[in-house]
Each structure stands twice: as C-alpha cells, then as structure tokens.
Amino acid sequence: MNTVEAPPAPLAQSPLTDQLKDPELLRAGGFIDGQWECPDAGPLLHVADPATGERLTSLAATSGPGVRKAVQAASRAQPAWAALPAKERATRLMAWHAQILAHVDDLALLMTREQGKPLAEARGEVLFGASFVAWYAEEAKRIHGEVLQTYSADRRVLTLRQPVGVVVAITPWNFPSAMITRKCAPALAAGCSIVLKPSEETPLSAIALCVLAQRAGIPDGVINLVLCTRDNVADTGRALLADSRVRKLSFTGSTSTGKQLMRLAADNVLKVSLELGGNAPLIVFEDADLDRAADGALASKFRNMGQTCTCANRILVQRTVYDAFAAKLIERVRSLQVGPGLQPDVTQGPLINSKAVDKVSEHVADALAKGARAVVGGAPDERGGLFFQPTVLLDVKPHMRICHEETFGPVAPLLAFDTEEEALALANDSSYGLAGYFYTRDLARALRMAERLELGAVGINEAVISSEAVPIGGVKQSGIGREGAHHGIDEFLETKQITIGAL
Ligand code: ADP
C-alpha cells in the first residue's frame, strides 16, 4: 500500500490555514503522479470567497507539460490498479470514505468558503459525496462477466467487463465535492485511472479530496489533479482530449461546454458521459397536497441558491389552485435567510460570481418587462456583492427567457395551466430533459405523466431525488449516460466478447 505521503506543501498566507483542524488539506497546486505541485513562475489560480470577496489563496495552475505528465502518470498506473483484486480496490475506496468522514468539518468549511453554500448544506454535500465512495466500493466487487448460451456446439462464448482505461473527469463548481466522487468512485472501482480537472471556482475541495485519497492508499498516478485558470481551461481541455492515451470523458457542466467537449472527444472516439444543463418543470395539479408541493418547490428551487441542474426552473400550477399554491410558496420563501454561509441560520448564500448575478438579473428583468410580477424579491440583495434576493415571479408566460434557459439562481417563476395535456406540452417544450417533478393524488395521472415526460428523472410527490442509489442523467440536450446506482459503473466499463472454438 502506498501510505507514504509526499512532503507537505502547505499554502502560504491563506486565512484558511488557521481555521482548519487539518491544514495539510490545503496544498498549493495540482497533484501529479503522487506529487503536489507548487507555484513557480507560471500563472496563478486565485480563489476567492464569494460571500466576502476575500482572497483565500493563489494556486499553481498546471502547465502544458504538467497536463501531459498527468495523463502519462494515469496511463502508467492504470494497468496495475486494474490488476488488483476488486476486493483490494474496494478496501482502498472504503479507506477513502473513512478519511472523508473523518474530515467532514474541514471539507464543509472549505466548500462554504470557496463556493458560498450554507455550512449545513456543505456538510450534507460532503456526506452525500462520501456515499458514492462507499457505494462504488461495494459495486467494485460485483462487476461480473457472463457465460452466454453458445450458438454452435463446438464453441463457447464468455464476456468480460473491463475498465475503459484513463478517464478525464471535468467537474463543475455547484457541487464541488459530490460531482468529483460521483465520477471518481465508480471509475476507481472499475479499475480506471483519472485525470481530474475541477472548476476553477472551487479547486480547494478537489485538492482536499486528493490529499485524502492519497492517505487512503490510492497509488501514485491513479488519481491526478490538474488546475486551470479561466484563461487556460480551453487549452487544457483540448490537450487532455487530444491525448490518445485518454479513453473516456466524464463531464458535468453547461450544455454549451459539453457540446464543445463532445466535439473534441470525437477525434479519438472517446467513450463519453455528459451531465449537462436542465430546465426542470415542477407541476402542481389541483388534486395535489399543496403544502407538500410548496415544501418540495422550496427545497428544489432554493437549495444551493438555485444553482443546481435538477432544480425546478418552471413551476406550472393548475389555474384552480394557482393562488392558493402561490400563497403557500410565498410564505415559505419569505422565511429564507440570506447571508454568508458560515453564519448560523443562513439558508441562502451568495451566487458563485458576478456573471451568475447578471444572468439571474437579466432573466428577472426580461420576465418583468413581458408582464410578470415579482411578489417576493426580484433584485440583487441590499447586502450587495453576489447576494440575490429569493424571488417569486407570478404571471409568468412560456415566451419569457426564464422558461427556456437555465436561470441557475433563486427565482421561482409560476405559470398557470388548465389541463393535463397543456401541462405536459409546456413541460416537454424544452431542449433540456434532465429532471422534473409533479404533485398529484391521482394514480392513473401519475403513471401517464411519468411515462410521457421527456426527462431522465421524475419525482412524483417528491422534489429531492438525489442519492447514490439512483441513476441520474439526461435525455435530449441534458446529456448522455447515467451516474449513481449500478448504472454509474457501466460508464467506466467495456464489454469484451471471448469466443472459444475447436471444442
Ligand atoms: P459554468 O459556466 O457554470 O462554469 P462550464 O460548463 O463552463 O459551466 O464549466 C464546467 C466545467 O467545465 C468546469 O470545470 C470548467 O472549468 C470546465 N470547462 C469550461 N470550458 C472548458 C473547456 N473549453 N475545456 C475544458 N473544460 C472546460
């Protein structure tokens, strides 16, 4: 087991050093072939707290040669990792899981400081992220081939399930921990090695997870971490996907970036998994439990300040219960507390950056200009900075931008509909197809709707549907492939047929 740590390279002058129980979770750069990079003459990646604007640290961005070295290391380390008995890979994944649980307070603090979400939510995400590691440690032991019925008396046919090889994992900032473990745990369980490129907004969670993976005995080169500035992300993406040693791209992020990466991945015919944008409908029928629906809408829409690809982006309410439902939702939204995520009782932190605030502001302005009414919020918060008021918009119509583009912010737009057919047509009128939710007590309607919604995931009387135990992924322009459950590991495996003749 590789239990010897690389010499520590703690960050200089980070205000976080004094706040962490284990300051060694902070490193100054990427992680390549078991070595931590340090800043040199190259470009720096500055990390700031979105709640205060305070600079948290400056990290070494990985150079072009560093990126190639990371792929080289992953390529060299992968066969030996794959050759370990699955039980041994599982043991190391469980050790990683234990390390994550032992450092949950520090991991949550790092996440809140770099991403903004309230501390309790950050803690919840770390545990959610850890659940993928435990789940795929178990799945590692259940990768089975088959003996097929033969088609000829003198032949036998077997199948093997083998790791695809070197994986490039590109992850977003909205779930800085769970989107990493949701990819890395099944990849490692399958016997793949990884080059991880986290979002430039949230590299600290990624660094800490790699420190803990190293401590858990994941061998050198099996997980590598490359860091980018906003300026060199496109070059890094191109370099990673142009390297013929890479066999798989697993990406979570925007649809536009996903399309670009898919084009690049085509050159080497990579296996791809893409979890892209969404524009989730949440439909409230007149026979719904309106309190439950309002609770669900609140949880789905305002978790992570609405910066979630599965969050309700369009709330469709049957006209006969529109006012009653709106009143219940408004009451709940008024109880939300905006502020820095470290402050107790805060439920709504800042948005990730000024681009995000601009987009949310534009969506609200567009809706108001076209006849919607903001009955709660509707503007950046008086605190200034990156805070936006939790907002409820009434009288929203399908031609408004908010109904077609992902808002990624704390804005709940309510549209009215009259019939089930109309609700279904409105819900499916989207180029996205990730998740959606509806509330009804009518069993026949529930089945009709679940079957006809063009989505990868449907919640019936339930708006929080994330778990390591369920497959998540999109249809239409929301993506390709599934993460979670036993489906998630298939994305990192190939099926090989073996025919034995002359029997
Ligand atoms: P967002 O705009 O919300 O940050 P993105 O899809 O741009 O969403 O980002 C998701 C991830 O994709 C991040 O890790 C980001 O750095 C990365 N990314 C963005 N553009 C590229 C690119 N051209 N090549 C490789 N990775 C990219």
Task: State pTM to two decimals.
Answer: 0.97
Give the length of the chain: 503
Atom of ligand 1 nearest to the CA of 230: 16
Residue 256 burial by CB count (10 A; 0-12/13-18/19+): exposed, middle or buried?
Answer: exposed
Confidence of residue 11 (pLDDT cuts 50, 70, 90): low
> 330 burial class (0-12, 13-18, 19+ CB within 10 angstroms)?
middle
Residue 199 Cα to ligand 1 middle (Å): 7
- Our answer to whether residue 201 is catalytic in this structure is no
- Going from the Cα of 479 to the center of ligand 1, the distance in angstroms, rounded, reads 15
Residue type, 283: I
Q: What is the mean pLDDT of residues 309-327?
A: 97
Q: Which of 309, 405, 406, 491 is catalytic?
A: 309
Distance (angstroms) between ligand 1 centre and the Cα of 456 equals 22
Instruction: Average the pLDDT over 478-497 and give the result.
Output: 98
Distances (CA, A) of 281 to 200, 398, 461, 480: 30, 12, 13, 20
In the prediction, which pLDDT does 40 show?
83
By alpha-carbon position, which residue is closest to atom 21 of ligand 1?
Answer: 234
Q: Whose CA is nearest to atom 23 of ligand 1?
A: 234
Ligand 1 centroid, distance to 190 Cα (angstroms): 25
- Please answer whether residues 276 and 253 qualify as being in contact, where contact means their C-beta atoms are separated by less than 8 angstroms: yes
pLDDT of 173 over the 50 cut? yes
pLDDT exceeds cutoff 50 at 3: no
Residue-wise pLDDT for 17-35, tens only, equals 999 999 999 999 999 999 9
Of 289, 350, 295, the closest CA to residue 321 belongs to 289
Q: What residues form DSSP beta bridges with 161? A: 495
- What is the overall mean pLDDT for the chain? 96
Query: What contacts 415, CB < 8 A, 6 or more positions away?
Result: 314, 315, 316, 317, 396, 397, 398, 403, 426
Q: For helices 104-115 and 86-102, what crossing angle results, to 10°?
A: 70
pLDDT of 362-410, one tens digit each?
999 999 999 999 999 999 999 999 999 999 999 999 999 999 999 999 9
Alpha helix (H) residue ranges in 203-349: 203-215, 233-242, 255-267, 290-302, 322-334
Residue 169 Cα, ligand 1 centroid: separation in angstroms? 11
Name the residue of 47, 115, 170, 353 whose CB sits within 8 Å of the most ligand 1 atoms, as the mutation to test its pocket.
170
Give yes or no: 422 in active site: no
What pLDDT, in 10s, does the model give residues 97-136? 999 999 999 999 999 999 999 999 999 999 999 999 999 9
Catalytically annotated residue among 125, 201, 275, 483: 275
Write b or e for each residue in 34-69: b if 16 or more Cβ atoms lie within 10 A of its Cβ, otherwise e.
Answer: bbbbebeeebbbebebbbeeeebbbbbbbbeebbbb
State the Cα–Cα distance between residues 29 and 32, nearest whole angstrom.
Answer: 10
Residue-wise pLDDT tens digits, 380-392: 999 999 999 999 9
User: Looking at ligand 1, which atom is closest to the CA of residue 254?
Assistant: 6
CB 118 within 8 A of CB 126: no
Predicted confidence band at 55 (pLDDT cuts at 50, 70, 90)? very high
Residue 1 has pLDDT above 50, yes or no: no
pLDDT at 78 over 90: yes
Angle at 121 between CA 117 and CA 127, to 5 degrees: 125
Residue whose CA is closest, atom 14 of ligand 1? 199
Which protein residues are within 6 Å of ligand 1, measured from CB? 170-172, 197-200, 228, 233-234, 237, 253-254, 257, 260-261
